[in-house]
Amino acid sequence: MIAVDMGAIGDDLSCKETDVSICAKDSSGPYDYELTGRLIELAQKEQLPYAVDIYPHYGSDASAALRGGHNIRTALIGPGVHASHAMERTHKEAVINTAKLLAAYIQTY
pLDDT tens digit sequence for 32-58? 999 999 999 999 999 999 999 999 888
Which bin fits 67, alpha (ψ -120 to 50), beta or left (φ > 0)? Answer: alpha
Biggest alpha carbon distance in the chain?
A: 37
Range of the domain at 57: 2-108
How many domains does the chain divide into?
1
* Amino acid in position 30: P
Question: Of 84 and 79, which is predicted with more confidence?
Answer: 79
Q: Measured in whole angstroms, how far is the alpha carbon of residue 109 from the centre of its chain?
A: 19
What integer best gives the mean pLDDT of the chain?
93
Query: H-type helices in 12-91, by residue range?
Result: 33-45, 61-67
Note the pLDDT of residue 31.
95
Q: Do residues 107 and 101 make contact, with C-beta atoms less than 8 angstroms apart? A: no
The CATH number given to whatever domain includes residue 21 is 3.40.630.10
Indicate whether 85 pLDDT > 80: no
DSSP tag of 69: T
pLDDT > 70 fraction of the chain, expressed in percent and rounded: 100
Percent helix, strand, coil in the chain (nearest 5)? Answer: 35, 25, 40
